[in-house]
Amino acid sequence: MIAGGRSRVLLMHPILDPGPAILAEAAEVISYPPDRPLDEANIRQAAEGCIGIVSQLMDPIRETVLSSPGLRCVSNVAVGFDNIDLAAATAHKVMVTNTPGVLDDATADFAFTLLMATARRVVEADNFTRSAGFHGWAIDMMLGQDVYGATLGIIGIGRIGRGVAHRAKGFNMRVLYYDPQPLPQEAEQQLNATRSSLDRLIAESDFISVHVPLTKETLHLLSTAQFNAMKRNAILINTSRGPVVDEAALVEALKARKLAGAGLDVYEREPAVHPQLIPMPNVVLAPHIASATVRTRSEMSAMAARNMATAVRGGRPPNLVNPEAKR
């Protein structure tokens, strides 16, 4: 709080309507200079005198930033918050909020989009057709994998994982899931999903879709041993966070044909993409757009702004992930 003035909030990146108006009603909004590097020292400097920071997943919000005097809330415009050191935030009594729920359908839709596109070689086929490669129907042209009736392994059956299982029902897929948190029995029946060990899921699935948060436990959850154990026709879909998959190991496994392909929305060192993935025709690559629909990104912006506005007014933000930090 500035003496005699309004509370200040640092907006790291532009957000969509109606987010800006919600923020402006609650606080004086300072925009992060667009040309300034996104490192901790620069963010700390920009956050000087601010009660809140509205951040996004590329912003490293750790000890240096979280120890800023007067900082009370970091509102992340994302459901994942692995860019924020939660323990340090709680220690400094800085509330952290996220945007769960509003992006489930858009993200599950996109996981399924990548699954279909990779299985049926849509990007490769589009490039082929545009580059005048189509000279007539051929019985063996661009053969792909069956989706209907195949086995889908879902790693992490939270909000988005359940959304993917729900879509898989329409494709008559057998669903195996791996999650330390079992689904209630009626949800298993309704989604036609069977709980499994990670090993069994990997050995039996034609498609494996990853929906876990990035944590110490899920870092490189899929690496060489898991790729070696996959079916040779298996396709990996990752719309969670890049470091959940050991990208270098994935490249080696794809080269050795340990699995058939991958559909990736996220990368280990974003925005860098492993250079050896680029020329692979059996890999579909997207620039972290799983939640990118007009409605979803607008709702995420509004939700993040509302979380911040509530914190600025001294209330408990609706999507608080560390309640221990509330003073």
Q: Does 211 bind ligand NAD (CB under 6 A)?
A: yes
Q: Does 155 bind ligand NAD (CB under 6 A)?
A: yes
303 in Cβ contact with 102 (< 8 Å): yes
| Of the candidates 105, 45, 44, the residue with the CA atom closest to the CA atom of residue 290 | 105
Minimum CB separation of residue 143 from ligand NAD in Å reads 29
Does 270 participate in catalysis according to the annotation?
yes
Q: Does 265 bind ligand NAD (CB under 6 A)?
A: yes
Among 105, 124, 179, 268, binds ligand NAD (CB under 6 A): 179
Does 72 participate in catalysis according to the annotation?
no
Minimum CB separation of residue 139 from ligand NAD in Å reads 37
Residue with smaller CB distance to ligand NAD, 115 or 157: 157
Among 13, 62, 92, 159, binds ligand NAD (CB under 6 A): 159
Among 291, 307, 310, 319, binds ligand NAD (CB under 6 A): 291
Minimum CB separation of residue 223 from ligand NAD in Å reads 14
Residue with tokens 């005097």: 69
Residue with tokens 């490189």: 220
Q: Does 73 bind ligand NAD (CB under 6 A)?
A: no
Q: Does 240 bind ligand NAD (CB under 6 A)?
A: yes
Q: Which of the residues 241, 274, 297, 306 is marked catalytic?
A: 241
Does 288 participate in catalysis according to the annotation?
yes
Residues 115-144: x where in contact with ligand NAD by CB under 6 A, - otherwise, as a string? ------------------------------
Structure tokens at 46: 């920009």
- Bond into 34 cis (ω within 30): no
How many residues bind ligand NAD, per CB under 6 A? 30
CB atoms within 10 A of CB 15: 22
Backbone angles phi, psi at 187, to 5 degrees: -70, -40
DSSP string, 12-74: SS---TTHHHHHHHHSEEEEPPTTS---HHHHHHHTTT-SEEEE-TTS-B-HHHHTSTT--EE
Residue with smaller CB distance to ligand NAD, 95 or 103: 103
Structure tokens at 171: 């494709």
Structure tokens at 202: 């990997």
Spell out a b/e string for 192-207, using b for 16 or more CB atoms within 10 Å of the CB, else e.
Answer: ebeebebeebbbbbbb
DSSP label at residue 209: E
Which residues are at the interface with ligand NAD (CB under 6 A)?
79-80, 100, 103, 107, 155-161, 178-181, 211-214, 217-218, 239-241, 265-266, 288, 290-291
